[in-house]
Structure 1
Amino acid sequence: MVNLVAVTGGIGAGKSTVLAALDRRGQRTLDSDAVVHRLYRPGSPLCAALAARWGVEILDGDGAVNRAAVAAKVFADAGELEWLNRLVHPAVKAEIRGQAAAAGSLLFCAIPLLFEVGWETEALCTLAVWCDRRTQRERLRRRGWNAAEIERREAAQLSMDDKLERADFAVINHGGRERLDEQIARILQRIAPLPPPSGAR
């Protein structure tokens, strides 16, 4: 995907905040979590597959997939997480490819498990969002997550430090909005002249 800029980072790093900053600068953005949410709509093939495996209790009152119930299943069982990823990831990738093809310009897409699933090779470049651990924990506690929940979710992905080391660009996201916007501006200047990735489609 010659125009895809893959945005990644640990839980609570501030990927959505970075997408919002890019939006303010007129960039096209996409959140893979939002893609998953659409794929989990009532009556969808993924919805039916999850209900067949885990029972209708995995659905909410509207018949959509209850993501909290899914998280409780997969973060307690590595085998179930692997099964879910094999089911969901191809559908998410197809949606991202379609939106990138239709964008006509750079598309910044937040992909939390970018490096874990090996999608970085399909992107023009990668951008990791990082914050200090204290800030991360404060953000996650505001979501209502306790220490055990945070540890379960962190165990399912690379650390923020690992993602930072692997990425082409980095955004340090524990300062104010002005500092964030300055970093975004510098990165946009550097991305513009990049050649497409080798073997890109």
Structure 2
Amino acid sequence: MPLIAITGGIGAGKSTVLEYFKALGAEVLDADQIVHSLYEPGQPAYQEMLSRWGDKILDAGRAIDRKAVAAKVFAAAHELSWLNGLLHPLVKQAISAAGARTNNLLYCAIPLLYEVGWDAGFAAVIAVWCDRNTQLLRLRSRHWSEVEINQRLSQQLSMNEKLSRSDYGLINTCSLAMLNQQCTHLHRHLQSMFALPQTD
């Protein structure tokens, strides 16, 4: 069945959009959540990260401390490259497996879709967009420092660039009700385009 990518800058509202599509009866997948599952003890990625960085990346319960990992990879480009090389094939494998299991539209939230060159593997791409000031307000509400915010933004294309490259755009500077309405209209359009039965 068609795989639909959802992308956008950090803080754009991709997770909210994913929840709206799920409520409409679609299958959904979040690349960030896949990564989080790969961090769990017993997973191959967990062991690889522990071998490379040692106990300093573990919390008191010996789970991967994502903030400690972020501090390492955003401070050294070669460490980020190594981590991406470890995780990206596993994430792609999980997405492909999920697509093979469903007969429905599958929406996949992938923040760095264009940055890693995965867009060609999807039937359509949706960009979630908000303006820069709104984005910064949302990121600061997560209690991130300006350094942390700038480190993450430096690894991403701009919101405008992502929107210009995508097949569809969802504008998330309005009310949640209006965002939900946009998702509903787009979902119905995609169901019609791919000749799928209405699920909402």
CA contact (8 A) 2:21 2:187 kept: no
Q: Cα deviation per residue 1:67-93 (whole Å; 9 max; x = unaligned)?
A: 111100011111111111011000011
List 4+ stretches of structure 1 deviating above 6 A: none
Q: Deviations over 1:15-61 (max 9, x none)?
A: 01111111221211111111111111012110111111111111222
Q: 98-107 or 84-93: which moved more?
A: 98-107
**Aligned to 2:75, what secondary structure does the other structure show?**
coil
Q: Look up the match of 2:128.
A: 129
Q: Distance in 2 between matches of 1:40 and 1:82?
A: 17
Distance 1:179 1:43 in 2: 42
Name the counterpart of 1:46. 45
Contact 2:3-2:107 at 8 Å conserved across structures: yes
Q: What is the TM-score when the length of structure 2 is the normalising length?
A: 0.93
Query: 1:198 corresponds to which residue?
Result: none
1:178 paired residue number: 177
CA RMSD of aligned residues (A): 1.5
Superimposed CA distance per residue, residues 128-183 of structure 1 (whole angstroms, 9 cap, x where no aligned partner): 00111111111111111122111110001111111111111100011112211221
SS in 2 for 1:144: coil
* Secondary structure in structure 2 of the residue aligned to 1:75: helix
Count matched residues: 195
* Paired position in structure 1 for 2:189: 190
- Give the drift of 1:193: 4.1
Determine the C-alpha separation between the residues in 2 that align with 1:53 and 1:144: 29
Structure 1 position 93 matched with structure 2 position 56: no
Give the Cα separation in 2 of the matches to 1:94 and 1:73: 25
Tell me which residue corresponds to 1:84.
83
Kept in 1, the 8 Å contact 2:29–2:107? The answer is yes
Q: Gaps (5+ residues) in structure 2?
A: 195-200
Could you say which residue in structure 2 is the equivalent of 1:166?
Answer: 165
Out of 59-68 and 123-132, give the one that drifted further.
59-68
**5+ residue gaps, structure 1:** 196-201
TM-score by length of 1: 0.92
**Aligned counterparts of 1:32 and 1:183: Cα–Cα separation in 2:** 22
Once the two structures are TM-superposed, the CA of residue 100 in structure 1 deviates from its matched residue by 1.2
